[in-house]
Every structure is written in structure tokens, then in C-alpha cells.
């Protein structure tokens, strides 16, 4: 088991815990930014949200025609220590993360990761602000 130090109060604790036991501080970014690699436009997400053709329309990406109304779900997860992307069972085409279909249990996303529809359409870069 490894231990970490809170970035805010300095308390020593298990790094597996994303929230400081002493002060409640967490390093998980408040905002996740999705950027279209085609248009360069971005969408900011600040809370757990189902993402799809409607709330991704600001990306102005022509590939949005392949995007379902519910394509994937983003969750700011304290227990998993980051933003997690989950597949949507209602998506006509599966969402991929870094070239692999997202599993049912979801995956933690990191800055620079790529989201797409089957690795072919709607290429989105993940970053944080
Ligand atoms: Zn702390």
C-alpha cells in the first residue's frame, strides 16, 4: 500500500482515497473539457451528466450526425479518484476511449485521452480546466 500527502493540509493518507480524510480536499478537477479535433470547439462539463447529440452540439462537429441523444455519461467520482466515462445503453454506436470500447464499469479519463464513436467518428480530446 502506498501513501500520499494532501495538497491542501499536508495530512498523510492512502493515495487510493481521493478525498483528504482531514480536510476534504480533492485533486479531481471541477471541470472536464471535451474538444472536437475537427472544429477545435469545446464543451465544458461540471457535473455528472449524460452526454449526447444535444449537449455536444456546441462542438459543431459534422460527425454529430452519428451521435445518439444519449451517447455516454460523465461522472466526477470521488471514490474512483477522477472523472469516469460510462457507455450509454441507448447509444446506436458504441463510444470508445483511446481506441477501445468503454466497458460497462466505465473508465477513469485523463488529460489527452481520446473519445470517439467506434474510433472512426466524433474524435474528441479530453482536457481539464
Ligand atoms: Zn487535507
The single-letter DSSP state of residue 11 is -
pLDDT of residue 22: 86
* Among 88, 29, 84, CA closest to 53: 88
d(CA 85, ligand 1 centre) in Å = 27
pTM of the full predicted structure? 0.86
State whether 40 and 99 are in the same domain: yes
Same domain as 85, residue 67 = yes
Q: For every one of its 129 residues, what pLDDT tens digit does the chain have, with 9 covering 90 and above? A: 456 788 889 888 776 557 888 888 888 899 999 999 999 999 999 999 999 999 999 999 999 999 999 999 999 998 888 999 999 999 999 999 999 999 999 999 999 999 999 999 999 999 998
- Are residues 65 and 7 part of one domain? no
Do 4 and 58 have their domain in common?
no
pLDDT of amino acid 17: 59
Residue 90's CB is within 10 A of a number of other CB atoms, namely 11
CATH number at residue 99: 2.60.200.20
Same domain, yes or no: 61 and 91: yes
* Whether 45 and 60 share a structural domain: yes
Q: Could you tell me the residue range of the domain that residue 16 belongs to?
A: 1-27
What pLDDT, on the 0 to 100 scale, is given for residue 79?
86
Q: Are 109 and 53 members of one domain?
A: yes
Cα dist. 118→1, 4, 6, 28, 110 in Å? 37, 37, 38, 27, 19
Ion ligand 1: residues, Cβ under 5 Å = 6, 8-9, 11, 20, 22-23, 25
Amino acid at each position: 500500500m502506498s501513501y500520499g500527502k494532501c495538497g491542501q493540509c499536508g495530512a498523510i493518507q492512502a493515495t487510493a482515497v481521493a478525498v483528504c480524510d482531514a480536510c476534504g480536499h480533492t485533486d479531481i478537477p471541477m471541470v472536464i473539457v471535451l474538444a472536437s479535433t475537427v472544429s477545435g470547439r469545446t464543451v465544458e462539463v461540471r457535473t455528472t451528466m449524460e452526454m449526447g447529440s444535444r449537449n455536444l452540439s456546441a462542438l459543431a462537429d459534422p460527425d454529430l450526425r452519428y451521435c445518439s441523444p444519449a451517447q455516454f455519461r460523465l461522472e466526477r467520482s470521488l471514490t474512483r479518484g477522477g472523472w469516469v466515462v460510462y457507455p450509454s445503453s441507448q447509444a446506436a454506436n458504441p463510444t470508445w476511449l483511446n481506441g477501445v470500447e468503454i466497458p460497462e464499469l466505465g473508465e477513469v479519463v485523463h488529460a489527452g485521452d481520446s473519445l470517439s464513436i467506434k474510433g472512426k467518428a466524433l474524435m474528441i480530446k479530453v482536457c481539464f480546466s
